[in-house]
Amino acid sequence: MRIVDEPAYVLHTRAWRETSLLVEVLSQNHGRMGLVARGVGGPKRHVLRAALQPLQYVRLDCVLRGELAQLRQAEALDAAPLLQGDAALAAFYVNELVLRLAPRGDPHSEIFATYGQVRAGLGSDAPVAWTLRLFERDLLEALGFGLALDVDVDGVPIDPAARYRLDPEQGPRRVRHDRGQGDRDTAATGSALLALASDVQPGPEDLASLRRALRDVLAHHLGPRGLKSWDMLAELGRLSRPRNP
Q: Is the pLDDT of residue 40 over 90?
A: no
Sequence spans of domains, the chain: 2-76, 85-240
Is 70 exceeded by the pLDDT of residue 182? no
pLDDT tens-digit series, residues 57-99 = 999 999 988 889 999 999 999 999 999 999 999 999 999 999 9
- Residue 234: what pLDDT? 75
**Which of the residue ranges 53-57, 70-74, 232-236 would you say has the lowest mean pLDDT?**
232-236
**Looking at residues 184-202, what average pLDDT do you find?**
92
In this predicted structure, what is the pLDDT of residue 244?
38
Q: How confident is the model at residue 177 (pLDDT cuts 50, 70, 90)?
A: confident
pLDDT reading at 239 higher than 90:
no
- Report pLDDT digits (tens) over 114-147: 999 999 999 999 999 999 999 999 999 999 999 9
Q: Is 230 exposed, middle or buried (0-12, 13-18, 19+ CB in 10 A)?
A: middle
Q: Which residues contact 61 (CB under 8 A, 6 or more apart)?
A: 2, 3, 4, 5, 6, 71, 72, 73, 74
Contacts by residues 226-234 (CB-CB < 8 Å, ≥ 24 positions apart)? 227/93, 227/96, 227/97, 227/100, 228/96, 229/89, 229/92, 229/93, 229/96, 229/97, 230/93, 232/89, 232/92, 233/89, 233/93
* Mean pLDDT estimate for the chain: 89
Q: Given this model, what pLDDT does residue 216 score?
A: 94
Contact 131, 118 (CB under 8 A): yes
pLDDT of residue 43: 60
pTM of the model as a whole: 0.90
Strand order in the sheet with 188-189: 171-174, 163-167, 188-189
Residues 202, 140, 114, CA angle at the centre, nearest 5°?
Answer: 80
Phi then psi for residue 167, to 5 deg, are -70, 120
What is the third-level CATH fold of 2-76?
OB fold (Dihydrolipoamide Acetyltransferase, E2P) (2.40.50)
* Distances 192 to 44, 86, 166, 207 between C-alpha atoms, Å: 52, 22, 12, 6
The pLDDT-based confidence of 226 (bands split at 50, 70, 90) is: confident
Provide the 10 A C-beta neighbour count for residue 176: 10
Pairing status of strand 188-189 against strand 163-167: antiparallel
Radius of gyration of the chain (CA): 20
Q: Domain 85-240 carries which CATH code? A: 1.20.1440.120
Nearest to 214 by CA among 132, 142, 152, 150: 132
Res 11: pLDDT: 97
